Structure 1
């Protein structure tokens, strides 16, 4: 999906009728990153896609927003129409002549569709087993899954990430780290990056990482807590994933993924519901958990903010394995 400057034509309009785009000053890579990095970080929180990967793909696929395709259609990721696309279209000469590409009302819509595209396509499912900080595995995985035909696609993404220090965006407090190390302004970075409105940053000083319930905010009648650097709430009587999704602007589908439950599951009052993607391992001081009666891999994953599959893999167990009282489970 990497393009050279070739003719673009809107759906139903002949190539000869196209009016050339007006010449303008090219946007720099730094300007592009500053403009869209908050969106990339927000999508990392909601979907688990590294912000560095999102930014690098946007930079590469759109030439920092300067390509003809991106200017004509707001398509910054070179996503083709596919059979299920019902939105606006543009036609562009890429691997073949006159291929159909998606057109968007805004660049923000292109970023949103990019996240949904990776999240919903089965061929990219294996990428989500990588940690959001593992940008190299993501880059190679995108190439292996066929995102682009360029043989050096992964190397190009990695080079962009390392040249512009985009890997900083993948870290905890990534926008602040990026601003500190690249001298960019990051006013109100936490409010802009958080999936929770007006969330309060925790410095870590005086906070016990093993403390189960650290309150960080109140939002729409819910107390928002954090464990293992992941935000969660406690479900209320009558709650559904669909209701919670509207309150926290996270899709019900993703909420179920975050909480390792099936597509028909609904929360029970008092149950922990994560509103961000759980971690692959425990970041607190405790190394082992001694199993109590009735505990399961899933219940421990909810208690510690660790993904069920990661916890099972760490302990060489099936995610549905029966745990016995007194058994020791590795947390990291």
Structure 2
């Protein structure tokens, strides 16, 4: 078993918590969701993982933040160390005695690691074919991929989602819908900044990337376009990932990741820069792309709004290799 046992077992573990941990007040499910739902929604936008699934797993695996493991190590998803883990760790009896679990500085770090783990592990690749509103398929897929050994794991997740109406978080304006379902008045957000007509040297204009929709076509001097359902801008002369990131409140490292780049790479004027994670699959009708001279896997990935790794897997290619002119490359 890769992960900790779920809520039924974790609830009992609380009895053996240390005195300081036991002295902490217990969170209710409602309090837990209220505290962490914004992180889950942000990860849904970045990775495509339903916010309802993230919240249900957090509730189940951490017993709503009350389990010994979550209080001792901020580990809310029961993720074990594995070979590639270089961070802090704690030891806890699970399937075997003294198993190694990841320990995080904050709960937010645990949520971030959970999203990256699902996104990076090949065993979960099939899940991303499902819509971020299809929580039932995600729940079944997690169980089938081996996230937990409990035979009714998928049913538990679905029950938590439906009992707590977490599926509302998966919808557009989900946090508002969820709050309204609980009778909480939510103030209207400030209107996003209008497309400014300013010179390129104008001051940076921060904007929440989740605040605009497909009908908004400009922010802070950038035209926001969409390919394959993914938002992007065109880099201007002098732009860096750091400056773009400040304008759209996205870290430079995430921008590089969204655009299949690493290290200290910077954009060139005219480059298409995705400001959210590209999709794993091309949703258009075209099945094949006829390669042109000098094209690479990454060039195609940027053109179609899909991840380089998806094209590599479909065609067994290396993204650094130039494609042969006229070659038929699968994109779906």
TM exceeding 0.5: yes
Cα RMSD after superposing both structures: 4.4
When residues 33 and 91 of structure 1 are mapped into structure 2, their CA distance, relative to the original with a 3 A threshold, is: same
Unaligned regions of 5+ residues in structure 1, if any? 10-14, 208-213, 311-316, 325-332
SS in 2 for 1:232: strand
Partner in structure 1 of residue 116 of structure 2: 116
Distance 2:150 2:190 in 1: 36
SS in 1 for 2:232: strand
CA contact (8 A) 2:43 2:49 kept: yes
Distance 2:185 2:44 in 1: 20
When residues 60 and 171 of structure 1 are mapped into structure 2, their CA distance, relative to the original with a 3 A threshold, is: same
Partner in structure 1 of residue 219 of structure 2: 217
Partner in structure 2 of residue 236 of structure 1: 236
Partner in structure 2 of residue 146 of structure 1: 146
Distance 2:209 2:252 in 1: 21
Task: Report the Cα offset of residue 19 of structure 1.
Answer: 4.4
Identify which of 6, 10, 28 aligns with 2:13: 6
Q: Deviations over 1:210-233 (max 9, x none)?
A: xxxx42422xxx625153764321
When residues 264 and 273 of structure 1 are mapped into structure 2, their CA distance, relative to the original with a 3 A threshold, is: same
Partner in structure 1 of residue 79 of structure 2: 79
Unaligned regions of 5+ residues in structure 2, if any? 192-205, 318-322, 327-332
Return the TM-score normalized by structure 1: 0.69
Task: Report the Cα offset of residue 181 of structure 1.
Answer: 2.6
CA contact (8 A) 1:32 1:59 kept: yes
Partner in structure 1 of residue 207 of structure 2: 197
Q: Deviations over 1:184-215 (max 9, x none)?
A: 35457689xxxx734585688xx5xxxxxx42
Partner in structure 2 of residue 33 of structure 1: 33
When residues 89 and 158 of structure 1 are mapped into structure 2, their CA distance, relative to the original with a 3 A threshold, is: same
CA contact (8 A) 1:190 1:199 kept: no
Q: Deviations over 1:8-27 (max 9, x none)?
A: 99xxxxx9xx5463334421
Distance 2:255 2:127 in 1: 18
Partner in structure 1 of residue 171 of structure 2: 171
State whether structure 2 residue 133 is matched by structure 1 residue 136.
no
Partner in structure 2 of residue 49 of structure 1: 49
Task: Report the Cα offset of residue 238 of structure 1.
Answer: 6.2
Partner in structure 2 of residue 106 of structure 1: 106
Return the TM-score normalized by structure 2: 0.69
CA contact (8 A) 1:169 1:177 kept: yes
Distance 2:96 2:55 in 1: 26
Distance 1:184 1:202 in 2: 24
Distance 1:203 1:121 in 2: 30
CA contact (8 A) 1:176 1:189 kept: no
SS in 2 for 1:21: helix
Partner in structure 2 of residue 227 of structure 1: 226
CA contact (8 A) 2:208 2:249 kept: no
Partner in structure 2 of residue 184 of structure 1: 184
When residues 307 and 190 of structure 1 are mapped into structure 2, their CA distance, relative to the original with a 3 A threshold, is: farther
Task: Report the Cα offset of residue 241 of structure 1.
Answer: 6.1
Moved beyond 4 Å, runs of 4+: 185-191, 199-204, 238-268, 278-283, 296-310
Q: Deviations over 1:143-168 (max 9, x none)?
A: 11111111111111111111212122
State whether structure 2 residue 66 is matched by structure 1 residue 66.
yes
Distance 2:251 2:137 in 1: 26
Partner in structure 2 of residue 23 of structure 1: 23
